[in-house]
């Protein structure tokens, strides 16, 4: 059975783009593949974190994943730091990667170029991401375009390790969300919604109140024309609304455009569809938040399942590279 792995950092707040573009597809993947989904808290440490906030955010994100529809009886859901093999294999990947490869990673160049404290972990982050993927003999990795380069590096490291030390890792492939699920900022439809801008008027947060959602969509940027059609290049704002409406109602953006002649009704229907789509998720999240012990129990189950797989891979990798067994 095809194996899928993907992860999400416990930083910022989950927004509509995360839900419709990534998390809903995860809930679909779990029923057609052997799926592992991970809250990658070790990756969050590339920047200084408030310890109490990191713990709270990790738990909250897990509850959101469960509320969206991940089923621990169907998939494996766990926290990265609960499986120590992630950090252990990361060292082997750091020793397999070249300095030049890591220094060319676009995200490192972008983030380190902004000044301030730049951790060594930010530089070696792709080696840890490769470890995340390779630990589970992963076939497919659902990612956004910004992670394409990291998956390509993972493939290169797997092939290099296999060539040097013999068959060890499955070489994974990246998969990308369909265009209709690409949700952009409501005020700047050429940019993605941001997890870090909690109060941004262009970002709809998963836990936003209905009135806030309606207000943000009502004020969404469109254009000076009046025709409703899906055309990302010429009409990015309208196209974004159609993407949101389509994704929230199970249609393509082109199908969602049918019957609209004005922007007002399109915005009203989009807002109503989003509120309706998020309502059961918000209700389920409230139930889970009221019983954190159950979430902790489910994470322990997931970590045990993941550790069994990860331990076998690390044992194989250590033997092949020549480390003396304990």
Tell me the catalytic residues.
Answer: 111, 192, 195
- Rounded to whole angstroms, the Cα distance separating 242 from 137 reads 37
- Rounded to whole angstroms, the Cα distance separating 139 from 155 reads 11
Q: Is 99 helix (H, G, I), strand (E, B) or coil?
A: helix
Say if residues 299 and 78 touch (Cβ distance below 8 Å): yes
69: left (phi over 0), alpha (psi -120 to 50) or beta: left
Residues 6+ apart with CB under 8 A from 311: 85
Cα→Cα distances 34→23, 40, 152, Å: 16, 19, 22
Which two three-digit tokens encode residue 279? 């309502």
- Rounded to whole angstroms, the Cα distance separating 317 from 72 reads 28
Half-sphere exposure of 26 toward its Cβ, with a 13 Å CA cutoff? 29
- Rounded to whole angstroms, the Cα distance separating 58 from 55 reads 5
Say if residues 299 and 62 touch (Cβ distance below 8 Å): yes
Q: Is 109 helix (H, G, I), strand (E, B) or coil?
A: helix
* CB atoms closer than 10 angstroms to residue 65: 24
- Rounded to whole angstroms, the Cα distance separating 21 from 18 reads 5
Furthest-apart CA atoms within the chain: distance in Å: 71
In 3D space, the residue among 173, 139, 134 whose CA is nearest the CA of residue 157 turns out to be 134
């Amino acid at each position: 059975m095809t194996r899928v792995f993907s992860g999400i950092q416990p930083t910022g707040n989950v927004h509509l783009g995360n839900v419709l573009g990534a998390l809903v597809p995860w809930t679909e993947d779990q029923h057609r593949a052997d799926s592992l989904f991970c809250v990658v808290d070790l990756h969050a440490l590339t920047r200084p974190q408030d310890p109490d906030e990191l713990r709270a955010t990790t738990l909250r994100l897990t509850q959101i994943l469960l509320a969206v529809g991940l089923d621990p009886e169907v998939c494996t859901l766990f926290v990265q730091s609960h499986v120590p093999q992630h950090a252990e294999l990361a060292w082997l990947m750091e020793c397999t990667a070249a300095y030049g490869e890591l220094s060319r990673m676009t995200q490192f160049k972008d983030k380190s170029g902004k000044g301030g404290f730049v951790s060594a972990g930010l530089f070696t982050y792709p080696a840890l991401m490769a470890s995340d993927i390779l630990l589970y003999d992963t076939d497919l990795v659902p990612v956004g375009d910004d992670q394409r380069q990291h998956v390509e590096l993972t493939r290169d490291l797997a092939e290099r390790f296999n060539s040097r030390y013999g068959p060890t890792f499955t070489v994974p492939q990246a998969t990308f969300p369909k265009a209709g699920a690409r949700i952009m900022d409501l005020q700047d439809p050429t940019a993605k919604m941001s997890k870090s801008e909690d109060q941004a008027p262009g970002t709809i947060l998963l836990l936003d109140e209905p009135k806030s959602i309606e207000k943000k969509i009502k004020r969404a940027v469109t254009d000076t024309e009046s025709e409703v059609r899906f055309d990302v290049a010429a009409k990015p704002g309208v196209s974004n609304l159609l993407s949101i409406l389509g994704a929230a109602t199970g249609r393509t953006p082109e199908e969602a455009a049918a019957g609209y002649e004005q922007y007002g009704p399109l915005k009203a229907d989009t807002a109503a569809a989003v509120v309706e789509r998020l309502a059961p998720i918000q209700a389920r999240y409230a139930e889970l938040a009221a019983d954190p012990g159950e979430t902790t129990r489910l994470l322990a189950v997931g970590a045990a399942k993941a550790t069994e797989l990860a331990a076998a891979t690390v044992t194989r990798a250590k033997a092949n590279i020549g480390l003396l067994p304990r």
